[in-house]
Amino acid sequence: MFDLALSEAGAQIILATSSDDKYPPENMIDGKDDTFWTTCGLYPQEFIIKFTSLVSINTIQISCYNVKKLKMEVSSDDNQAFKTLAEKELQPSDSAPQSEEISGRNVKAMNLRVVIESGYDHFCAVYKICVHGNAERS
Amino acid sequence: MPAVIRAKCIVVGDAGVGKSAICQLFTSDGSHFPKNYTLTMGAEFMVKPVVIPDTQDTVEMYMYDSAGKEIFTDMVMKFWDHPSMMIVVYDVTSETSFSSCEKWIERVRSQKPDVPFPGALVANKIDLEQRRIVGPKAGKELAMKTGLDYYECSAKEMQNVDTPFYFLASEYYKLYQEKVELFKAFVA
């Protein structure tokens, strides 16, 4: 099992609802802990990660800040509608990023959509998202 | 590409104080002053980008010009989730509109009690000098008490209408910068 959401491994962010050039969404999948994506105001905010092929997701780890309600959705190919995988309300954190692990229940996915439905402040940051799982044989 | 920061600006105050006139003047760069009064029902929605001086960045203001008539209040408050900033308007010739301000401020703040957001108190219709009842002192005191910034304007004379908007845009931009510094500090 390895991290499927890495730009080095070919994963791409194909949509993000905020983009400050200094803190682009690609920062979430660059494998580094010290770079991040910022949301630029208003809710909801979302981004979509596209994997190189169909994958089976075991767990998703996200490191973020100021996020309150979080929703994850997957679609198994580009023509399919997204289905909800998990919905969570995160606890606020004062002095360190929030860290959350979500079970993927081995769902098959080509695209992963992460929706930040609300936050503890006007602006949120997502430092890193790791998707552990395996490539599916098609 | 420069950053675009988005802000939801809630504009409130009693009916007839000039909220719509102020919003329409600001979004049209001073070219549109509504000469006839139309009662706003629900909320009018407008967008206006504001470039932050000395940067390439923009604050896009999504304005919710809300109905002032009480019968629309329940309905209009539904549009107010996640406010980023507020503008509270009163008419300097109307004591009632001035005393309603605190009620409006409370209503908007109740949407997001844990998160502070910038706001402006705007005294409109200062061109009506003869009929003015609410002076600058009372206005400033209320602003101080409620944590807002005080502005005087005349939508009719197109005087000082943009200033509160530019102020809020730049305050919000500052907030964004502060948060980014905080995000950085965690992983430095």
Cβ distance A19 to B3 less than 8 Å, yes or no, reads yes
In the structure, what pLDDT confidence band is assigned to residue A5 with cuts at 50, 70 and 90?
A: very high
Name the minimum distance, in Å, from the CA of A104 to any CA of chain B: 27
Q: What does the domain layout of chain B look like in residue ranges?
A: 4-185
**Number of domains forming the structure of chain A:** 1
Contacts of B2 in chain A (CB under 8 A): 21
Cβ distance A123 to B188 less than 8 Å, yes or no, reads no
Cβ distance B1 to A123 less than 8 Å, yes or no, reads no
> A53-109, pLDDT tens digit by residue?
999 999 999 999 999 999 999 999 888 899 999 999 999 998 899 999 999 999 999
pLDDT-wise least confident of B38-42, B104-108, B151-155: B38-42
Q: What is the pLDDT of residue A78?
A: 83
Q: What is the pLDDT of residue A94?
A: 86
Query: What does pLDDT average to over chain A?
Result: 94
Domain around A41: 2-135
Of the candidates B114, B77, B179, B41, the residue with the CA atom closest to the CA atom of residue A18: B179
Q: What is the pLDDT of residue B175?
A: 97
Name the minimum distance, in Å, from the CA of B178 to any CA of chain A: 10
Domain B4-185, second-level architecture: 3-Layer(aba) Sandwich (3.40)
CATH code for the domain in which residue A71 is found? 2.60.120.260
| Residue among A19, A43, A97 whose CB faces B186 most closely | A97
> B78-103, pLDDT tens digit by residue?
999 999 999 999 999 999 999 999 99
Mean pLDDT of A134-138: 80
Is ipTM over 0.95? no
In the structure, what pLDDT confidence band is assigned to residue A137 with cuts at 50, 70 and 90?
A: confident
- In this structure, which long-range contacts are made by residues B67-70, counting pairs with CB atoms below 8 Å and at least 24 apart in sequence? B67/B15, B67/B39, B67/B40, B67/B41, B67/B42, B67/B43, B68/B12, B68/B13, B68/B14, B68/B15, B68/B16, B68/B17, B68/B19, B68/B40, B69/B15, B69/B39, B69/B41
Q: Is the pLDDT of residue A136 over 90?
A: no
CA distance B144 to A55: 57
